[in-house]
Amino acid sequence: MAQDVLCEVNNCKYWAEGNKCAADAIYVVSHSGKTAKNQKETDCKTFEPEAF
């Protein structure tokens, strides 16, 4: 399992200093069912905009 999950989406509520993801769990989905051919066919469903 990955020790560090990196994230460059600074407006995500789970973004932490050093481009780290501070979420307890990460949920990634494919646009086309259970498989993906490349990263463009996936999305991070863990993303939540940071409340200001």
pLDDT tens digits along 1-52: 778 999 999 999 999 999 999 999 999 999 999 999 999 999 999 999 998 7
Q: What is the pTM of this model?
A: 0.81
Collapsing DSSP states into helix, strand and coil, what is residue 41? Answer: helix
pLDDT of residue 3: 84
pLDDT of residue 47: 96
pLDDT of residue 52: 75
pLDDT of residue 37: 95
pLDDT of residue 1: 77
Q: In this structure, is the dihedral angle defined by the CA atoms of residues 5, 16, 40 and 44, taken in order, positive or negative?
A: positive
